[in-house]
């Protein structure tokens, strides 16, 4: 007993006849593959189905698991209200999963429900499943903004829960692939779109789950995918288990990629401990990177370590390069974890008595006061990649031609509102993007005119 099978499926609403109105025939390969998935689930007759949906409630630092006895839903938002369903939740499984996740140090639970109705990322798979099996209870889980490694760990918790309860379970990872496949698609074209789809279908088609952890956040964002975290949770549910993989279909005629794969367990396999392998590789890379860190970054890391440990700003250490005690400048301290931004706070101009003090105060702010993120916890500190930008003098400019996203940072000003963006940032490829993000940070609307300033930085890694 435990995980009987896993499935990677898309969730286009138009695949439902009442929604598609005939258009669904253009993705017949996906429909045929879905029917095979549903028939397989019908034969397995699972007691519990775990659905991982990107359209469930999503929090930045928390996995939401639907509470209560059950829920209803329909396709009314797609003008097909008569196609509806009702499910019962496996409350025992939900309770046990919450406890297992807590023991594993994951932020997951049933708090924070905003919408009880079933989402289409859940209903599309169940539309097919219900044609062949209805004797299950459901566990519905949303994704989060946490790193991919946390999603993998949640998959491990799902498997552990299924085993501890002796519950015959299948896991359905609901998620479309890239939404950027065609110029005439609803979301347009981005070159990363077809590249992502080719890469993800290769990885999932081989069951090479460890490679899921190596997709960068920037790449996934540019590809505009919505299922990668679902697939990573699914992968975690098969940690240390051999899988028999069947790739059933892939197509994307509407500009959105739809892939279907099935996974059946075929015995223990200790070599498929993908999370451990990835984290060991990351540890070695982090150690090597730390050995290369200069005095600026070492000072920021020292400050964060002591602050997270004690909750107070540590005393300035002795033995730093003389310029850190002597010079003054604005600085930004940026933190990344698993390749994803984890905090970034800084000052445009010097406000402290020395460059060292500037770095130390901004390091504390970056790890504890960035409103976009929860404070850094002790277990995260060693995983952080830290950079320190020391800002040069700002100069006013009169045209975009005087900017260069790789060389200059930009400051936009309108009245009392002021926004800054550093240069040479991953995912910021054009001057227009740079200015738009700086405006957004300042609360300035896109159409509003601004005064422009530029500056150079010395980036310390």
pLDDT surpassing 90 at residue 193 = yes
pTM: 0.83
Whole-angstrom distance, CA of residue 214 vs CA of residue 197: 15
CATH number for the domain formed by residue range(s) 293-333+342-385: 3.30.700.20
Whole-angstrom distance, CA of residue 319 vs CA of residue 120: 59
Burial (CB count <10 Å: 0-12, 13-18, 19+), residue 141: buried
- Which class does domain 392-461 fall in? alpha beta
pLDDT surpassing 80 at residue 265 = yes
| % of the chain at pLDDT higher than 70 | 100
Check residue 139 and give its pLDDT: 98
Is the Cβ–Cβ distance between 346 and 388 less than 8 Å? Answer: no
The secondary structure of 75-112 as a DSSP string is EGGGTEEEEEEEEEB-HHHHHHHHHHHHHTT--EES--
pLDDT surpassing 90 at residue 452 = yes
Note the pLDDT tens digit of each residue in 351-366: 999 999 999 999 999 9
Note the pLDDT tens digit of each residue in 70-113: 999 999 999 999 999 999 999 999 999 999 999 999 999 999 99
CA-based nearest residue to 185, from 197, 173, 200: 197
- Measured in whole angstroms, how far is the alpha carbon of residue 54 from the centre of its chain? 10
Whole-angstrom distance, CA of residue 315 vs CA of residue 357: 10
| % of the chain at pLDDT higher than 90 | 89
Note the pLDDT tens digit of each residue in 139-182: 999 999 988 999 999 999 999 999 999 999 999 999 999 999 99
Mean pLDDT of 375-393: 92
Check residue 170 and give its pLDDT: 98
Give the number of other CB atoms < 10 A from CB of residue 273.
14
Taking the domains of the chain in order of start, what are their residue ranges?
3-276, 293-333+342-385, 392-461
Question: Per CATH, the architecture of 3-276 is what?
Answer: 3-Layer(aba) Sandwich (3.40)
Check residue 217 and give its pLDDT: 87
Mean pLDDT of 241-263: 97
Note the pLDDT tens digit of each residue in 16-60: 999 999 999 999 999 999 999 999 999 999 999 999 999 999 998
Mean pLDDT value across the chain: 95
pLDDT surpassing 90 at residue 286 = no
Whole-angstrom distance, CA of residue 375 vs CA of residue 107: 14
């Amino acid at each position: 007993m435990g995980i009987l099978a896993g499935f990677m499926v898309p969730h286009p609403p138009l695949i439902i006849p009442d929604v598609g109105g005939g258009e669904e025939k253009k993705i017949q390969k996906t429909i045929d593959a879905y029917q095979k998935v549903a028939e397989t689930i019908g034969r397995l007759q699972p007691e519990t189905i775990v659905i991982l949906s990107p359209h469930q409630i999503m929090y930045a630092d928390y996995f939401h698991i639907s509470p209560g006895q059950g829920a209803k839903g329909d396709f009314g938002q797609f003008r097909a209200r008569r196609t509806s369903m009702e499910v019962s939740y496996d409350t025992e499984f939900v309770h046990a999963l919450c406890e297992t996740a807590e023991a594993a140090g994951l932020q997951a639970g049933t708090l924070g429900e905003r919408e009880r109705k079933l989402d289409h990322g859940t209903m599309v798979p169940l539309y097919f499943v219900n044609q062949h099996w209805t004797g299950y209870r459901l566990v519905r889980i949303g994704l989060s903004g946490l790193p991919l490694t946390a999603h993998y760990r949640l998959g491990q918790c799902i498997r552990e829960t299924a085993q501890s309860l002796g519950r015959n379970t299948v896991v359905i990872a609901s998620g479309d692939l890239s939404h950027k496949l065609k110029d005439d698609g609803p979301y347009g074209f981005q070159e990363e779109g077809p590249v992502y789809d080719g890469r993800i279908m290769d990885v999932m088609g081989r069951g090479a789950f460890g490679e899921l952890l190596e997709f960068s956040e920037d790449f996934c964002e540019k590809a505009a995918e919505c299922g990668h975290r679902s697939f990573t949770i699914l992968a975690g549910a098969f940690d240390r288990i051999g899988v028999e993989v069947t790739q059933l279909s892939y197509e994307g005629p509407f500009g959105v990629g739809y892939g279907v794969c099935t996974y059946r367990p075929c015995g223990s396999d200790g070599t498929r401990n993908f999370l451990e392998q990835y984290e060991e590789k990351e540890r070695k890379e982090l150690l090597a990177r730390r050995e290369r860190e200069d005095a600026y970054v070492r000072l920021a890391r020292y400050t964060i370590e002591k602050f997270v440990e004690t909750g107070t700003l540590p005393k300035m250490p002795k033995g730093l390069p003389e310029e850190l005690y002597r010079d003054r400048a604005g600085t930004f301290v940026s933190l990344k974890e698993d390749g994803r931004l984890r905090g970034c706070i800084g000052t445009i101009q010097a406000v402290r008595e020395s460059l060292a003090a500037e770095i130390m105060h901004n390091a504390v702010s970056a790890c504890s006061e960035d409103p976009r993120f929860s404070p850094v916890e002790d277990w995260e500190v060693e995983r952080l990649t830290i950079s320190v930008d020391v800002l040069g003098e700002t100069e006013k400019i009169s045209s975009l031609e005087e900017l260069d996203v790789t060389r200059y940072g930009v400051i936009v000003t309108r009245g009392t509102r002021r926004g800054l963006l550093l240069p040479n940032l991953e995912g910021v490829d054009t001057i227009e993007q740079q200015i738009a993000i700086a405006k957004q940070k300042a609360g300035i609307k896109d159409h509003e005119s601004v005064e422009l300033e530029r500056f150079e930085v010395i980036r310390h890694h």
